[in-house]
Structure 1
């Protein structure tokens, strides 16, 4: 009984002391910084900082020399005749300042040295990359581009005239190289090259000219259908290769049928 009376107050005292004792552990609030911490005394240069890789915009390609010079480089897909080609995209090109004998005009027979001119043109440019240079006009009435044609160091228009495959033929206002073509024709004729020796009827009177004013004439033998030139009336029937004039005015009834497309201009090619 005495022991019980002693233990009971002792247990109560222990319980009271335990419940009233202060908390010995403390909670610490943790804060997360949005920036990486740097230890004091640590050299900032030793940090491993990865910078974003800047985007690189490719430099714009410079214009090609052809574009700067107002020229165009393209591939020849077909050769139509001695002075006409077709390029990629289907556009036809008519050589400026020259005229080769006809081979594909359905209104005319194949002219002397026409096939040879077509073959030489094909040999020069068919399936090859050429440079096209414009003069003043963009197209002719057939919507063909009017161009000077170069392949490598060869000026094709000049070559065909100089080697006797074509005549020099002036079609203003596209006359940038006309003096050069005229000189090339004189050289070919002097040396009897190409058509100048192969075609017996070829002479200075066969060289196409641009008619601007009517020649001196008494008027009695000049057909009124061609008021700016003097062409005798039919018969005999004449074709463009039989006369010296090119691109002259034509009025009805046009007995020689020089104006095949009825646009009022005769012998345009």
Structure 2
């Protein structure tokens, strides 16, 4: 019985030593790729120029629904990301928040920027609104922004 156990142990040891693989010195590290000279890339039809960035699309706000929701000229409703204003029906400062958003955006050309989610549960577009160089959410930390 002891002999069978020793033979099994020896066979397992031999099998494991062969299945471990090669030594680290035999691993071949690939050489880094050499860049293609521009004359060759032109012959191959490969562009070496960086892609052009699309110009942002402009939209016009025609109605402010409440302190964090607007309607575009196209008819789309947009919910602002980063602002959670009081609802218009009876909440404190709801009227002030709506008026401030009207003052900032109504009848102005704006740019919309997407985030991870496209729409909310009411099928409103979820977007950041940019006017010029500033996002609307950047105004909320200024003293005159009450929303």
TM class by shorter chain equals 0.5 to 0.7
Say which one has the larger Rg. 1
In 2, the alpha carbon distance for the partners of 1:141 and 1:162 equals 30
CA deviation after TM superposition for structure 1 residue 90, in Å:
0.8
CA deviation after TM superposition for structure 1 residue 154, in Å:
2.6
Unaligned ranges ≥5, structure 1:
1-61, 67-71, 105-109, 167-269
In 2, the alpha carbon distance for the partners of 1:92 and 1:129 equals 15
**Which structure exhibits the higher relative contact order, with contacts defined as CA atoms closer than 8 Å and separated by 6 or more residues?**
2
Q: Report Cα offsets for 1:5-30 as digits up to 9, x if no partner.
A: xxxxxxxxxxxxxxxxxxxxxxxxxx
In 1, the alpha carbon distance for the partners of 2:66 and 2:138 equals 16
Q: Which residue of 2 aligns with 1:77?
A: 62
CA deviation after TM superposition for structure 1 residue 100, in Å:
0.6
1:144-159 aligned at under 5 Å gives the runs 144-159=124-139
Contact 1:100–1:165 (8 Å) recurs in 2: no
CA RMSD in angstroms comes to 1.9
More helix, by proportion: 2
1:160-171 aligned at under 5 Å gives the runs 160-163=140-143, 165-166=146-147
Q: Is 1:96 paired with 2:86? A: no
Partner secondary structure for residue 117 of structure 2: coil
Q: Which residue of 2 aligns with 1:131?
A: 111
Q: Report Cα offsets for 1:142-196 as digits up to 9, x if no partner.
A: 0000000011123112213544533xxxxxxxxxxxxxxxxxxxxxxxxxxxxxx
Q: Which residue of 2 aligns with 1:115?
A: 95
In 2, the alpha carbon distance for the partners of 1:165 and 1:99 equals 12
Partner secondary structure for residue 98 of structure 2: helix
* Matched residues, number: 95
In 1, the alpha carbon distance for the partners of 2:138 and 2:75 equals 25
More strand, by proportion: 2
Q: Which residue of 2 aligns with 1:222?
A: none
CA deviation after TM superposition for structure 1 residue 98, in Å:
1.8
